[in-house]
Amino acid sequence: MTRGDQRDRAREKNLKAAGAKAKKQEGDPRKRAEHDAEMVRQKQKAKEEAARLAAAGGAPPPDPKSKVGVAAKQAQQKK
């Protein structure tokens, strides 16, 4: 056995480094849960608002990343 305890030391070192990199959640878990719930409520409200506008005939603002919106703008500019 030429490596001795090199393998064991390397394993311990890697475990220690992985533990240091682990994401540690700070703060009160209840506050984090409340914050997360509020964010979900805001997203749901925005989605419902967009659905309401679409049902009322108004379209939500176009997605700037959408290629469909770009093609439509180019077609309108050509007319």
CA angle 59/60/62 to nearest 5° reads: 105
Kindly report the average pLDDT of the chain as a whole number. 79
pLDDT digits (tens, 9 = 90+) for 33-52: 999 999 999 999 999 998 88
Radius of gyration of the chain (CA): 27
Question: In this predicted structure, what is the pLDDT of residue 70?
Answer: 56
**Full-model pTM:** 0.42
Lookup: tokens for 53: 């506008």
Describe the chain by its helix, strand, coil percentages, rounded to 5: 70, 0, 30
pLDDT digits (tens, 9 = 90+) for 15-37: 888 877 766 777 888 999 999 99
* Residue of 63, 53, 60 lying closest to 73 (CA atoms): 63
Q: Are 51 and 60 in contact (CB under 8 A)?
A: no
Q: Are 12 and 18 in contact (CB under 8 A)?
A: no
Q: Residues of the chain with pLDDT > 70: what percent?
A: 66
